[in-house]
Amino acid sequence: MNQNTNSRDLLSRERQHMSKLLGALTVTAASGFITYLVTQNSIWEQWTYLLHTAMGIYLTLVVLPYVRTHFKRTLGIRRPVMVIVGLISVGLVIGVAATGLHITIFGQSESLRWIYNLHIITAISVLAGLAVHVFGQRLVFRASRNAEGQGWFPSITAPALAKVPVAILSATALIVVATLVYKLVPIRYNTEAVIQPYEKSYGEHPFHPSQTETASKTFVDVRQISNSDSCGECHADIARQWRDSIHSQAASDTAYQTNVNLLSTKKGMATTRYCEGCHAPVALLTGQLTKGGKLDTPGHLREGVNCKTCHGISEIEHLRGVASFKFTPSEDYLFANRSSAVLDKIHNFVVRIQPRQHRKDMARGVLSTPQMCATCHAQFMDKDVNSWGWVKMQDDFTAWLNSPYSGQGVQTFSKHAMTRCQDCHMPLTEATDPSANAQGLVRAHFMPGANTAIPWHMGNKEQLQRVTDFLQSDKVRVSFERPSRLEADEGITHVAPKTSIKTEAPPYYYLGETVDLSVIVTNVGVGHDFPGGTSDINEAWVHLRVVDSQQNVIFESGGLTPGNDVDPKAQFYRALAIDRSGNHVWRHDLFNMVGDSYKKVIPAGESDIVTYSFSIPNDAKTPLFISATVRYRKLNNQYARWALKRPDAELPIIDVARSSISLPLRDKPKVVSAMPKLAATK
């Protein structure tokens, strides 16, 4: 009697739990399948993400009491197959609940994509297991009633079943209402220039002379391209790296600001679009660059080349550069750009639990190609800007194409794997980030190159050290063509040349002798010309120094003057830009540049041989110590002191490569004629 009463009590409680459970299970399963199968990221679907998450949490809370009660009630029933299936189903329920809670709390991540996949698999398996467990009873046990007089599904009652369509209709109505209400207050993006009237000095195209396009053919609302700090809420490590990079300071860079203001003064605000497409795309695409606009608004200065700019590039317009990309804003998630802390939290939560569209927008295929870098790291200027004609300027992309690293050069076509810009300047590094791969690695966003001036100017010692390490990573080498002498010997005993095993005579010099010495500078690891970039304002040169054993300077080329300038007779690797009158364009005012009077760089995989000649004093002390150093300084002094507005600036000089040799000195023996002595003996 007590046993039957206890069984009926357990069954009653089980039915109460099932009444709460069945509708929630149906809605959770249906919404889960919808979010998995429908990938359009519409408003109603995003509300479905939230509904699925809420119902999943609720279901987790109510399923555990049901399982506990169900097992207590059926513990004594001898149906081993059904028990095993039930136990497996419970394990799967725990699995789907655990993976769902993990996604709810931590969101999805690339390195843990398997958790999301496991969530889907276990959810489907739970439904399959429950079907086998419930409907299997009818196949195994044919009786219409069991010993207790209960039916095939004792815990499922008519009232519980009646709640299923109510739950589905309620959930559907909730999503429909939420979608309609949300659409009643849509976010409105501005597609007009922020400064009116907007002058079109270079034709109807709103961004010329910049080569930038937008998918909408209109201006972009500032909210769709700025606010990189919001990206850092989820991608904190990457955001910190980017903040140290030159990309983030591309607009605020003091030297750049000096130059772009000079351009504005000389040619008008509209002409600055030529520069700002690469340095300040926020200013360009929002329509700030017209008469009445500003070059130094805090917003676009802080953004520079920001997250949404690079990750918003959808197509490459052409490979001639000058910001030749098409910008397409990412699709909005719920409550995007609403200027509310609470709504921002909801927005970020939706992105984290289902980042499918976010991944699609922010990881476009073009992002991993060298062609994307070409849009700004190649440059030309035409008559519209310089009032002269078409002039080719820096072009690291074409230099890379001609290098062994592109796999498309003459010597390496179809023979070597490609090394992209990103492989050198954005190597994989460890980071705690949802976009990290299975090994916990992301592309580093410090993006070191050769700009030591701005980190030094801004006092960013960490970034300066990163750039220094990058420059000193054995990408350029220097060596000597080792001297040799045909008449050299090692002792006083004559050895016939045919019997000597020596293949090279030991080098030495005589006091008072003139030396011709060759230094070889090789670009072994730079993926483009060395130096690249703005070679008209940078300095790379060879410093050769010859001293004797008492440190007396015998010869020097490429040393520094008392004013910290480089010896003008040094071997430089740089360009000297000139204007139409042949004058040196030293301020980097490219609108005056029509060509170069001098340009020397070393293509990737090639070498340059520099020959020096000097005389050895008769009082030099053996041996000679000869050192050759390839040195680099971002910004020459004349330009830096003008552009940075620091007359006493002494920018860091980086020793990129160094080599040395020592050579012995000898007294040259006097030659005395023996002919007079022979005549006397006769």
Tens of pLDDT, residues 221-254 = 999 999 999 999 999 999 999 999 999 999 999 9
pLDDT beyond 50 at 680: no
Kindly report, residue by residue over 148-196, the tens digit of the pLDDT: 445 556 777 788 888 889 999 999 999 999 999 999 988 999 999 999 9
Residue 335 in this model has a pLDDT that exceeds 80:
yes
Is the predicted pLDDT of residue 127 greater than 50, yes or no? Answer: yes
145 band by pLDDT with thresholds 50, 70 and 90: very low
Residue 411 pLDDT grade (very low, low, confident, very high; cuts 50, 70, 90): low
- Is 52's pLDDT higher than 50? yes
**Per mean pLDDT, which range of 76-80, 298-302, 502-506 is the poorest?**
502-506
- C-alpha 412/C-alpha 360 separation (Å) is 34
Angle at 579 between CA 575 and CA 583, to 5 degrees: 80
Tell me the per-residue pLDDT of 521-532, one tens digit each, with 9 for 90 and over: 999 999 999 999
- Count the residues in the chain: 682
Whether 241 contacts 427, CB under 8 Å: no
Parallel, antiparallel or unpaired: strands 509-510 and 539-547? unpaired
Q: Judge residue 121's burial from the number of C-beta atoms within 10 Å of its C-beta, 0-12 exposed, 13-18 middle, 19 or more buried.
A: middle
Tell me what the pLDDT averaged over the chain comes to: 89
Which CATH number is 2-184's, of 1.20.120, 1.10.20, 1.10.3470, 1.10.10? 1.20.120
As a whole number of angstroms, the distance between CA 345 and CA 352 comes to: 10
- Top pLDDT among 82 and 268 is at 268
DSSP 3-state assignment of 191?
A: coil
> Beta-strand (E) ranges in 283-412?
313-316, 325-327, 378-381, 391-395
Residue range(s) in the chain whose domain bears CATH number 1.20.120: 2-184
Asked if residue 15 has pLDDT above 90, the reply is: no
Rounded CA-CA distance 630/574 in Å is 13
How many of the other CB atoms lie within 10 Å of CB of 410? Answer: 7
- CA of 148: how far to CAs of 2, 8, 137, 151, 152, in Å? 14, 9, 15, 9, 11
CATH superfamily of this structure's domain 474-490+504-666: Immunoglobulins (2.60.40.10)
Is the confidence at residue 376, as pLDDT, over 90?
A: yes
Cβ-count burial of 111 within 10 angstroms (0-12 exposed, 13-18 middle, 19+ buried)?
A: middle
Compute CA distances 448 → 247, 451, 463, whole Å. Answer: 10, 8, 8
Greatest alpha-carbon pair distance for the chain in Å reads 154
Q: What stretch of H or E contains 220? A: none
Please answer whether residues 370 and 51 qualify as being in contact, where contact means their C-beta atoms are separated by less than 8 angstroms: no
679 pLDDT higher than 80? no
pLDDT of residue 501: 56
Answer yes or no: are the C-beta atoms of 301 and 252 closer than 8 Å. yes
CA dihedral 582, 586, 589, 595 (to 10 degrees): 40
The reported pLDDT for the residue numbered 76 is 60
User: Does residue 165 have a cis bond before it (omega within 30 degrees)?
Assistant: no
What is the rounded distance in angstroms from the CA atom of residue 211 to the CA atom of residue 19? 64
The pLDDT of residue 590: 94
Q: 653 pLDDT band (50/70/90 cuts)?
A: very high
